[in-house]
Amino acid sequence: MSFQILELLTTTIATLPRESRIADLGCGAGASWWGSLPEGCTVDAYDVGQAPPEPRRNIRFIQRDVTRLKSDRALRSHYELVVADHVFEHVRNPDDLAASIHAVLKNGGHAHIGVPDATNFTDKFYHLIHRDSGGHVSLFSRESFVALMEKHGFSLVDTRPWPDDWAWLERLFSIERYGIQDFTKQDLQYIVDVFRKELTPEKGYLYGWEFLFRKA
């Protein structure tokens, strides 16, 4: 998982009108961009897990399966912006998730989505070192993801390459959990440092893509 705030997301949030409603799907422990919300904007933060440890006044946590939001009539055309970063690769039914995003967005609303590129080194390496796939159960290329969203009524506004800062490997990979022997945290840090030096975006190594779609 890459930790930096994505450029396209930051730009989109900055253009939101006052009192916009945002859905953050798969919020996990909380997102760093929550701190840059325009005045009056609120976030409904959805996740199947536990609530973020430090809820904020303008953030409401909702424990829910985000692939089923399309069935909730109360949420139809409810949000100006939906953010779904690090989510699509974790669901086995990406069509249901795309349809749910379309259902809850207002006409003309935007969806910001970040996904790993399964054709690139990073995601292949991610699967190699996680015997349980690390939760990445749906695989996408740039082209296949755009096709998925277009099928569900979205038009592509912009896309940017998502550089990998290797923070996910440095901070999240657990040597202990996977029972790796004769390997230390220092060894892991060495690999991270080499990857950061050698596997650069300039050489074609990416985490994936960030997309901005508009509900047609």
Give percent of the chain above pLDDT 90: 76
User: For the residues 97-120, what does the mean pLDDT come to?
Assistant: 97
- Please state which of the ranges 27-36, 96-105, 163-172 shows the lowest mean pLDDT: 27-36
Instruction: Report CA-CA distances (Å) from 53 to 24, 27, 29, 31, 33.
Output: 16, 12, 7, 12, 16
Q: 109: number of CA atoms within 13 Å, CB side?
A: 20
Nearest-angstrom CA–CA distance, 74 and 82 = 16
Own/partner contacts of 38-41, CB < 8 Å, gap of 24 or more, are 38/13, 38/14, 41/13, 41/16
Distance of CA 104 to the CA centre of its chain: 17
Helices (H) and strands (E) in the chain, counts: 6, 7
- pTM given for the model: 0.91
The residue assigned the tokens 């919300």 is 37
Which alpha helices (H) appear in 25-178, and where do they start and end? 94-104, 121-129, 142-151, 167
Question: What whole-number distance in Å separates Cα of residue 88 and Cα of residue 108?
Answer: 22
pLDDT at 2 over 70: no
Quote the pLDDT of residue 78: 97
Enumerate the domain spans of the chain: 7-118+132-163+206-215
pLDDT digits (tens, 9 = 90+) for 26-68: 988 888 888 888 889 999 999 998 777 666 778 999 999 999 9
CATH number (3.90.1280.10, 3.40.50.150, 3.40.470.10, 3.40.140.10) of 7-118+132-163+206-215 reads 3.40.50.150
pLDDT bin (cut points 50, 70, 90) of residue 195 is very high
Tokens coding 97: 């998730």
pLDDT at 55: 63
DSSP secondary structure letter of residue 69: G
Q: Which helix (H) or strand (E) is 189 found in, with range? A: helix 185-198
